[in-house]
Structure 1
Amino acid sequence: MTKLFTHQLRVRYSECDQQNVVFNGHYLFYYDVAVTELLREATVDYAAMVEGGTDLVVAEARIVYRQAARFDELIDIDMPITRLGTTSLIVRPRFRVGERLIAEGEVRHVFTDSAAGGKKEMPSTVRAAFQPYTSTGE
């Protein structure tokens, strides 16, 4: 059975725009916080991975906005991993307030050589850590 990682955060006043809703640019920041927590739960030591010569970077990000989130609301960010490739992985985050879908998207990460740059194969330890969270069973 696939594990679904969900991270929850509360909208702060400073994250809202003049329309009193979360400014669109904050959703990628929220995603970054959630992916960091996913790494932590999956026991991927990011700093050790980088020291070992592999980094993980965002290659592509797309977000579709459905509804507005507002100050002090709790946003749940579901983080299903939908693909584990050779040098990349795809996460399809869903941002919800209660049952309301606020936004959803797709973020493609690429593993790179932390010193020289360029694509690099995903470390087997990282693949094993992400496997339980992968909805396609790859």
Structure 2
Amino acid sequence: MPGMGEVFTHRLRVRYSECDQQGVVFNGHYLFFYDVALTEMWRALVGDYGEMVEGGYDLVVAEARIRYRDGARFDELLDVSMPVAHLGTTSMVVRPVFRVGGRLIADGEVRHVFIDPASKGKREMPPEVRSVLEPFLDGAGQAAGASSGASSP
């Protein structure tokens, strides 16, 4: 069982097509990288996303903020750490941290809201999701802690 503050991390390799004329990852791709990491975190910790939707729950992005620190480049391995900063009644906040080796590339905050897929109205977080994510809750919202699930490129 993971300890409090553990951080799920997904690794991906920067593809040439993701870089801009300046030779670094185009800024818009970081939210895509985040989405890939969230999908992998969900698969590893919660299970099949489609089953959750079939069970009457979906997750939407309500707010996203990314702060760019440095540029990741073609063929570098980018680690996306996913500290869970907050679990509310109907929402959760993840503060992703993007790193290449020891270099901080970007960080941010993404707020998700659980909804009913049919009505699109807010819905309380499923108890089984809360119980799985609670051990990953990191009140400081920093990427300190061990990687609990890294995927290979």
Specify the SS of the correspondent of 1:136. Answer: coil
Amino acid at match of 2:17: S
| Sequence identity percentage | 66
Structure 1 residues not aligned, in runs of 5+: none
Determine the C-alpha separation between the residues in 2 that align with 1:90 and 1:111.
11
CA contact (8 A) 1:44 1:126 kept: no
Q: Does 1:103 align with 2:106?
A: yes
Per the alignment, residue 72 of structure 2 pairs with 69
With the length of structure 1 as denominator, give the TM-score of the two structures. 0.96
Q: Which protein has greater RCO, CA pairs closer than 8 Å, 6+ apart?
A: 2
Deviates more, 1:8-17 or 1:37-46: 37-46
**What is the deviation of 1:129?**
1.3
Per the alignment, residue 130 of structure 1 pairs with 133
Determine the C-alpha separation between the residues in 1 that align with 2:116 and 2:46.
21
**What is the deviation of 1:40?**
1.1
CA offsets, 1:9-33, max 9 Å, x none? 0000000011111000000000000
Q: Does 1:54 align with 2:84?
A: no
**What is the deviation of 1:132?**
1.3
Per the alignment, residue 87 of structure 1 pairs with 90
Amino acid at match of 1:69: A
RMSD, aligned α-carbons? 1.2
**Moved >6 Å (runs of 4+):** none
Q: Does 1:117 align with 2:120?
A: yes
Determine the C-alpha separation between the residues in 2 that align with 1:125 and 1:27.
29
